[in-house]
Amino acid sequence: MRATASIQPVRVGKPRLLASCAIAAGLTALALGGPARAQGVAGSGQVVTGPGLSGATISPPGPGAPANTTNVQTTGAQTIINWTPTDTAAAGGAIDFLPTGSTLNFYGTGQYIVLNRFIAIDPLSGAVIPISRQIGLNGTVNSYIGPAGGSTTQGGNIWFYNAGGIIIGRGAAINVGSLVLTSNDIDTTGGLLGPAGEIRFRGAAGSTSAIEIQPGSFIGASNGNPGSSYVALVAPRIIQSGIVSSDGSSALVAAEQADITINNGLFDINVTVGAEGGDAITHTGITGGPAHQQGDTDQSRVYMVAIPKNDAVTMLISGQIGYQDAVVAQTDPDGAVRLSAGYNIVNGEIADTPANATAANIQISDTLFASSVVAHASGSLAAAPVSQLPGPALPAAPPPGQGRVVVQGDGTFIGDASATVSVGNNQAVGASGNFTVISNGVGGQPGSVAVNVNQGGTFAVGGNLALLAAGRPDAVTG
């Protein structure tokens, strides 16, 4: 929804004095970096001051620059900006903070971080309050290394937080060094990063706010250092239907509170408070990035983590996940996909012990895994195409996973309670490498493994096929 504002009736009396005061106030605000209402965004920004925080200047474009643009020039390593959108009504759809055709540019030195927080001001008390509606980013967001208007080198770490969630609209484009989108407040005690370099997400209890990437939108993270960029989507609900491409690692984390540490592309994801029950992650888009050669310093992975709070959560997976170059993906040990329902991530791998005893499930439908994958659910895991394989003559390219669940590399699928792989007529499941299905039981009950191939279906494995239901002591009850 595009934000609008009605024109107030003109008042008579002392117009020149009022106009001159307004101009002076506006110039002062621009010089101090806020609050300043500028072209591009539908709102005003206030730069937060405090120990360890740097300043910034928020301004419209200079002479000759495109209209409908807001530029943010940072002066140091860590900056916080409180944005107050024009539309802060209590009800309605998403607030169109960055309308279609508008641009928000960030500039800074080195791998600077800018935390953009969306807030409202209580009209009676003047207190800062969170916004309960989604914020819409429907235009273009860019971040550069260098001075405003004079640099085209992509870089910088841009974070957006809104308690009511964030929606990246159709046609929107985000081109930054690294990106965080979250509906969970970020602890900034002692700086934007914790003592161990972790990002500290501290969401509100009971929240079901969502980060939503709509079809036709694009997120690209690259800073010129292959493998070192990141994209992190953190909220109780995540819907990814667009394109997310990171020259490094990407993480979709469904939780209320979590700590995320990034080390050479390997994530530590420690969820301390899980998400409310239901469909916590829904992935139908494309998430991955460019392939890297063996021996690159930084590793590129795709992580999806859904941890339950009190009731079971489910991860719904389809689309395409992994490297864009399947040939390299099959042989590059640095690239991988980790789908974890109920388990945290430790040094890039799924932990050995579930986060709690509440079940978390994974349902995989029409999916192309363009890298080796490990999927582990503390509850049940089910993998089965739902569509039919595309015919030989189509007017347009079909979705990458239509009618199949295929791994370009090794595929390991684990469901503690049960793990089932099913193939129907005119459908295909398999892997170019090894294919392993595991269920060792949970809660003192034995696990169950099944691979079902119906007539007319194709199940093909280039390496070894293993079905394992060995049984093991329960991690919680023993």
Position 291 scores a pLDDT of 75
Q: How far is CA 363 from the centre of its chain?
A: 19
Position 326 scores a pLDDT of 44
Strand blocks (E) in 22-108: 36-37, 43-47, 56-59, 69-74, 78-85, 95-98, 103-108
Contact 186/115 with Cβ under 8 angstroms?
yes
Q: How far is CA 308 from the centre of its chain?
A: 18
Spell out, as residue ranges, where the chain has pLDDT lower than 50: 1-38, 326-332
Q: Is 50 left (phi over 0), alpha (psi -120 to 50) or beta?
A: left
Position 17 scores a pLDDT of 35
Position 78 scores a pLDDT of 97
Tokens of 88: 């802060």
Q: How far is CA 2 from the centre of its chain?
A: 24
Position 293 scores a pLDDT of 54
pTM: 0.89
Tokens of 289: 């990035």
Position 97 scores a pLDDT of 96
Position 324 scores a pLDDT of 67
